[in-house]
Amino acid sequence: MPIFIYKSEKIFYETYGSGPLLILHHGFGSNKSSWIKYNWINSLIKDFKILIFDALGHGSSNKPHISSKYTIEERAKLSINLAKNLGYKKFGFLGFSLGGRVGFELAENYSNYLKFLVIGGMHHKPPSININIYKRNIRILKSRKGNFVKKGNLHRPSNDPLALAASYEAMLMWNGISNDTIMFDFPVLMFCGEKDKYYNDVRLFTKEKKIKFISIPKANHFGSLQSSDEAFVSIDNFMLENKLEE
């Protein structure tokens, strides 16, 4: 498995196919294999060079216990440097949950790198609006308990609770993006499960910004990653329509 060194940290990644670059960024506590598990790659491999990777603190990548390593800004810069490492100046980006926040950061401060953006299961607001929940989760992780503290299996290495706690701390440093000032000068699509706690915020944002939105019936937050065939085809078609050859 290829390894990319970013600021002295090892990032494990994989690529599939050829053509314009499409970066897939997984959610918090997950890893790159989620895109394979839920079959996001097979239908795209003939049209894109797909990059999946274990975000810092996840999967096989390094897991430092320093919160400054995990800021959303640093995660966005890592995505850009992964693209440059493969020789690409622009790319399409699909981010789910935590990856969605990275997508928003790219859109606001690094839009010149984006061909198109797809965000699943995440709103644009700062995590600090739920600061009490974050602080509770940080305490749980530091006590080495909770749902994210699991042993490894065939699909992923063990999580490091202290690394995940540091990642949570870093998320609280992110200010989100401004609904008033953000300008999307590239194609954007967002999707969200109707039972996701973020659904109303995502739906309202897409309506205000006139962004294409796909609502996934009966799906909760993680369920939207396992999108229905109809929803996935719509997301797939959006990316294919906007891939733009190099």
Domains within the chain, CATH numbers bracketed:
3-241 (3.40.50.1820)
Burial class (CB in 10 A: 0-12, 13-18, 19+), 49: buried
pLDDT at res. 232: 83
Cβ neighbors of 42 (< 8 A, separation 6 or more) are: none
pLDDT at res. 148: 61
Between CA 176 and CA 124 the distance in angstroms is: 6
Note the pLDDT tens digit of each residue in 6-18. Answer: 999 999 999 999 9
- Average pLDDT over the chain reads 92
Note the pLDDT tens digit of each residue in 48-70. Answer: 999 999 999 999 999 999 999 99
